[in-house]
Amino acid sequence: MNKETKNNYNLFFSKIYDFIFFPFLHPIRKKIAAEVKNNNPQNLIDMCCGTANQIKYLKKSVNTNIVGIDISDNMLSVASKKTKTNICLKQDASNTNFPDNFFDVAILSFILHETQPEIAYKISNEAKRIVKNSGKIYLTDYVFDKKTNFLGKAGTYFVEFLVGGQHYKNFKTYIKNNLLKNYTTDLQFVSESKYIFGAIRVFTFINNKN
Ligand SMILES: C[S@@+](CC[C@H](N)C(=O)[O-])C[C@H]1O[C@@H](n2cnc3c(N)ncnc32)[C@H](O)[C@@H]1O
């Protein structure tokens, strides 16, 4: 388990996370819940689920078996208050204990920009391993390109700067090297939605293992 991410979220930040990010995250949570509902999967994993905020939206709209995993005790303690059953487990998303092809769907939101690239590679590869062939991967993260306007970029830099430390360094490396492309090259693109002046994208991919 890598120490950098394990200790990144203190209890205070974990407790206010949903509140401060609600205006930005609400439409994204709704979008992903609607996509999952259309897809009607049997089982789903939210990798790096944080406070289980996305899981809360999913629980309202689908009957899918859901599991969340996260590495942070503080985020998980907030998550456990939100979910009646213990569906959020402490696991390292770069090395989970689920078998190959176990899930129909994986959700990966706001994780790949914040870890060191080698960990992000492992997490994305782990998602591809545990999701079935032709299963879906919903990936949400920052993208800066021609469709991102100045306000989106400035706002994102500001938020990530406030979070600071290694997290901010990892974010800058991710943006500078356009790393999301590297993590998703072997996935089949289905769709992309833009949020926050184009700075945040929700992607649907098919896990094409052939
Ligand atoms: C920015 S938060 C996003 C949380 C959630 N996905 C959301 O959309 O709100 C990133 C989360 O990833 C978790 N995390 C970071 N590295 C991880 C790892 N290797 N395994 C599991 N969780 C990890 C952190 O503890 C944190 O809860």
Query: Residues 3-15: pLDDT tens digits?
Result: 444 456 888 888 8
The residue whose C-alpha atom lies closest to atom 26 belonging to ligand 1 is: 50
pLDDT of residue 74: 93
Question: In this structure, how many other beta carbons lie within 10 angstroms of the beta carbon of residue 22?
Answer: 11
- Tally of structural domains, the chain: 1
DSSP state string for 59-114: HHH---EEEEEES-HHHHHHHHHH-SS--EEE--TTS-SPPTT-EEEEEEES-TTT
Confidence of residue 25 (pLDDT cuts 50, 70, 90): very high
pLDDT of residue 85: 65
**φ, ψ (nearest 5 deg) of residue 100:** -60, 145
pLDDT of residue 187: 98
- CATH code, domain with 25: 3.40.50.150
How far, in Å, is the centroid of ligand 1 from the Cα of 145?
A: 24
For the CA of 72, the closest atom of ligand 1 is 25
Token code pair at residue 96 = 């989970």
What confidence tens digit (pLDDT) does each residue in 121-133 have? 999 999 999 999 9
As a whole number, mean pLDDT of residues 134-152 equals 97
Termini Cα distance of the chain: 31
Structural domain containing residue 64:
3-206
How many whole angstroms separate alpha carbon 16 and alpha carbon 122?
29
Closest C-alpha to ligand 1, atom 16: 5
Name every protein residue with a CB atom under 6 angstroms from any ligand 1 atom: 5, 9, 48-50, 53-54, 69-72, 75, 92-94, 109-111, 114-115, 119
The whole-model pTM stands at 0.95
Q: Which residues contact 81 (CB under 8 A, 6 or more apart)?
A: none
Longest distance between any two alpha carbons in the chain, whole Å: 44
6 CA from centroid of ligand 1 (Å):
9
Please give the Cα distance from 38 to 33 (Å, whole number): 9
Q: What is the mean pLDDT of residues 14-34?
A: 92
Q: For ligand 1, pick from 5, 166, 167, 201 the residue to mutate: most ligand atoms within 8 Å of CB.
A: 5
- What was the pLDDT predicted at 84? 66
Pocket test for ligand 1, best of 83, 97, 111 (most atoms within 8 A of CB): 111
* CA distance linking residue 112 with residue 93, whole number of Å: 11
Tens-place pLDDT, residues 32-74: 999 999 999 999 999 999 999 999 999 999 999 999 999 999 9
Quote the percentage of the chain above a pLDDT of 90: 83
Mutation probe of ligand 1 site: the residue of 19, 36, 70, 90 with most atoms within 8 A of C-beta? 70
Query: How large is the average pLDDT for residues 166-188?
Result: 96
